[in-house]
């Protein structure tokens, strides 16, 4: 059987027509396979190309976004640089202002005393000043001026030829007349404010202590200022100011009831009143009868609108002067506080026990 099978296979292989058909079909199959592979390769190439194109578009978009972000960063850096330049310009302006302020302060000199404890500083502008009771400290942000004061030379030192002692610095505080009725009255030409170093002053309507601090400078460490204020909010600022100025005694009480603080106040040399109430003359009289020495001074700031807003200011001032006379206060001076205060007047008088 095996021999017959082998012989048949040999005959088939030897037949020429059969061999050609076998080869042709084989070649056709190979060609088809190659075309399919080529088509597959072309399809893969087109897919790869489209993918690469899409990838390129994405990369380009990402590059564009990155470039835009870089431009934004550059703009931000540019803005920061401009901001630094602006800050530098402001700092330069501030430095120039500080230098001008220092030069102005150095050019100041105190050469005149308007009243005991109240001075005029000469310089680019004439300024009203008081000698600072607590050097190095400001009360309400006011400007301070330091002046070199030559120390006195004793006769022995001059005879022996010793070197002159070192000059000392004296600090003064600028007194703003637009923030203080008393300062406005002094610049207006008051002849006597009845305050001097060593005086005891009863200040009615002390508010937060702006003017009180300057009165404390005037009376000095040997004097006393009894500061009465009804408002608790302003009273807190007054108390804070008094912690640095030991000659100020803050009293948070109604000035209409002087008996409530009679244990705190001694006899005084002067009463200053700025209470802006319709019954202001009566309030001043009550406190004068209780605390003011005979012959003591009374300085009253009158605000016409707070007393009678319907009458002309001149009539209001005249009526208030008449009420002060009834309280045994003899008027000595009267002036308006223009241009510092509108519809305000300052009246200065002397207290008398007898009618």
Structure tokens given for 315: 């009539």
What pLDDT does 161 receive?
57
Q: Which residue has the tokens 């120390």?
A: 151
Domain residue limits, the chain = 176-351
All residue ranges of the chain with pLDDT < 50 are: 1-7, 9-10, 12-27, 47-48, 51-53, 55-61, 67, 70-71, 73, 76-77, 80-81, 84, 87-88, 90-92, 94-95, 98-107
Structure tokens given for 323: 């009420």
b/e map 300-313, b = 16+ CB within 10 Å? bbbbbeebeeeeeb
Determine the distance from the C-alpha atom of residue 190 to the mean position of all C-alpha atoms in its chain, rounded to a whole number.
33
The DSSP bridge partners found for residue 142 are: none
What pLDDT does 123 receive?
82
pTM of the complete model beyond 0.75? no
Residues 6+ apart with CB under 8 A from 290: 258, 259, 262, 265
The tens digit of pLDDT for each residue in 139-193 reads: 999 999 998 776 665 555 555 655 556 668 899 999 999 999 999 999 999 999 9
Q: C-alpha angle with apex 240: 237 to 246, nearest 5 degrees?
A: 130
Structure tokens given for 336: 């308006």
Distance CA 337, CA 270 (A): 20
Task: Identify the architecture of domain 176-351 in CATH.
Answer: 3-Layer(aba) Sandwich (3.40)
Structure tokens given for 291: 């605390």
Distance CA 345, CA 335 (A): 6
What pLDDT does 94 receive?
41
């Amino acid at each position: 059987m095996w021999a017959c099978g082998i012989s048949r296979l040999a005959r088939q292989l030897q037949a020429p027509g059969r061999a050609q058909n076998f080869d042709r079909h084989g070649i056709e199959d190979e060609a088809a396979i190659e075309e399919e592979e080529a088509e597959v390769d072309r399809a893969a190439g087109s897919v790869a190309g489209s993918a690469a194109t899409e990838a390129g578009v994405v990369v380009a978009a990402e590059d564009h976004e990155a470039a835009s972000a870089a431009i934004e960063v550059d703009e931000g850096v540019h803005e920061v640089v401009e901001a630094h330049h602006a800050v530098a310009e402001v700092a330069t302006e501030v430095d120039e202002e500080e230098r001008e302020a220092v030069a102005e302060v150095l050019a100041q000199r105190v050469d005149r005393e308007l009243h005991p404890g109240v001075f005029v500083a000469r310089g680019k502008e004439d300024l009203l000043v008081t000698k600072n009771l607590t050097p190095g400290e400001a009360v309400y942000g006011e400007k301070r001026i330091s002046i070199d004061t030559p120390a006195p030379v004793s006769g022995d030192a001059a005879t022996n030829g010793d070197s002159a002692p070192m000059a000392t610095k004296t600090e003064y505080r600028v007194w703003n007349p637009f923030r203080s009725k008393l300062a406005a009255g002094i610049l207006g030409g008051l002849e006597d404010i009845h305050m001097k170093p060593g005086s005891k002053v009863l200040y009615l309507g002390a508010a937060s202590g702006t003017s009180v601090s300057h009165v404390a400078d005037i009376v000095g460490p040997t004097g006393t200022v009894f500061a009465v204020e009804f408002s608790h909010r302003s009273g807190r600022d007054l108390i804070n100011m008094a912690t640095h100025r030991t000659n100020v005694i803050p009293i948070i009480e109604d000035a209409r009831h002087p008996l409530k603080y009679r244990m705190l106040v001694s006899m005084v040399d002067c009463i200053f009143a700025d209470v802006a109430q319709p019954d202001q003359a009566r309030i001043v009289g009550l406190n004068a009868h209780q605390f003011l020495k005979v012959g003591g001074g009374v300085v009253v700031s009158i605000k016409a609108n707070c007393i009678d807003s319907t009458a002309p200011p001149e009539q209001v001032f005249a009526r208030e002067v008449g009420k002060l006379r009834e309280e045994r206060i003899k008027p000595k001076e009267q002036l308006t506080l223009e241009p510092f205060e509108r519809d305000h007047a300052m009246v200065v008088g002397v207290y008398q026990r007898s009618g």
